[in-house]
Amino acid sequence: MKKIYKNVKFRLFEEYYPYFYVIIENYQIEGIEENLDEITVCFLSENWNDNIKTELLSSLARLIPDIEIISEETIEDKNWNEEIEKNTPIIIVSEKIGIAPEWKIHELNTDIKIIINPKMSFGTGQHSTTKLVCKLLEKVLQKGQFWIDAGTGTGVLAILAMKLGARAVYAFDYDEWSVENARENFALNEVNGNYTIEKADIFECKLPNADGIVANMFLNILDKTADKFYHSLKESKGDLIISGILKYDADYIIDHYTKYNFKHIETLTEDEWVAIHLKVK
């Protein structure tokens, strides 16, 4: 008997995608697809009903304003793994850096090849913020430095830091699922060297002294972490690369960080998003 599926399409702003994944991972789902301000989740029909719908929307609404379901589609059985493999793109970050799932890694001709398989974790390389931070990291990181990846997600930025020649990386995330996924990706990419990946809360942990920090996080988190980042970087007069910021908020966050003894070096923009390079004065 063929299985019956429900494709449920949610409307929400992209900056809330990580919150969405934190909630949806508690449900039995078959697949997930991102589009601009929309996420489609596939459920087996027996795992989607009015009670689950009400419970899920209630949980999501606590974290995500104005989220709504815009369509529900019933479809018959298909090979979801085949669909994912066919539709997952390779990402060319620059002439030097490329990101791809393992079944397409042979298509990359870049010097640095990073394997990230599509899973429910922020930072597959498809999102503008990830690509922008990768571009800045390529320009800024110097071999032999120690870098921190705050809110590591898939671990892609920490992996890139190691491949660019960092002597050590400390990567952390508040979400256990992301930490496990990052560890899987480090193993998948055969990263060797001195690195640590652990679960930690940015508001509670003490950051070690570092040469640089990448933080692809939400504005409301970056707004509260300037002093913590400064104290981690002040000894080295280090570099800070932040993203997860819409272009409309760029001037605000730059002005905010200059009050904590950072100077603005460069801003990169793609679509509605920015990544900002700051440096301790």
In a domain, 261, yes or no: yes
The answer on 238 and 156 residing in a single domain is yes
Looking at the chain, the whole-number percentage of residues with pLDDT higher than 90 is 66
In a domain, 120, yes or no: no
Please state the domain count of the chain: 2
Distance CA 30, CA 41 (A): 8
Give the rounded distance of the alpha carbon of 179 from its chain centre.
12
Global pTM exceeds 0.85: no
Type of residue at 254 = I
User: Domain residues for 73?
Assistant: 4-84
In a domain, 125, yes or no: no
The answer on 248 and 173 residing in a single domain is yes
* Predicted local distance difference test score (pLDDT) of residue 88: 76
* Predicted local distance difference test score (pLDDT) of residue 269: 96
| C-alpha pair distances (Å), 227 with each of 37, 112, 234, 249, 261 | 32, 33, 10, 19, 9
CATH of the domain at 77: 3.30.70.100
The answer on 60 and 151 residing in a single domain is no
Distance CA 244, CA 128 (A): 9
In a domain, 77, yes or no: yes
* Predicted local distance difference test score (pLDDT) of residue 21: 85
The answer on 275 and 188 residing in a single domain is yes
Domain boundary pick from 44, 62, 84: 84
The answer on 154 and 276 residing in a single domain is yes
**Higher per-residue pLDDT: 58 or 36:** 58
Q: Which residue has the tokens 């078959």?
A: 30
The answer on 234 and 154 residing in a single domain is yes
Q: What's the pLDDT tens digit per position in 64-123?
A: 999 999 999 998 766 555 666 666 788 999 999 999 999 999 999 999 999 998 765 555
The answer on 142 and 248 residing in a single domain is yes
The answer on 77 and 211 residing in a single domain is no
CATH of the domain at 195: 3.40.50.150
Q: What's the pLDDT tens digit per position in 161-205?
A: 999 999 999 999 988 878 988 999 999 999 989 999 999 999 999
In a domain, 25, yes or no: yes
The answer on 69 and 148 residing in a single domain is no
* Predicted local distance difference test score (pLDDT) of residue 119: 65
The answer on 58 and 162 residing in a single domain is no
Three-state SS annotation for the chain: CCCEEEEEEEECCHHHHHHHHHHHCCCCCCEEEEECCEEEEEEEHHHCCHHHHHHHHHHHHCCCCCCEEEEEEEEECCCHHHHHHHHCCCEECCCCEEEECHHHHHHCCCCEEEECCCCCCCCCCCCHHHHHHHHHHHHHCCCCCEEEEECCCCCHHHHHHHHCCCCEEEEEECCHHHHHHHHHHHHHCCCCCEEEEEECCCCCCCCCCCCEEEEECCHHHHCCCHHHHHHHHCCCCCEEEEEEEEHHHHHHHHHHHHCCCEEEEEEEEECCEEEEEEEEC
The answer on 155 and 56 residing in a single domain is no
- Based on its alpha-carbon atoms, the radius of gyration of the chain, rounded to whole angstroms, reads 19
Choose the weakest-confidence range: 32-41, 60-69, 215-224: 32-41
In a domain, 123, yes or no: no
In a domain, 79, yes or no: yes
The answer on 255 and 159 residing in a single domain is yes
The closest alpha carbon to 218, from 162, 153, 157, 160, belongs to 153
In a domain, 131, yes or no: no
Distance CA 208, CA 233 (A): 9
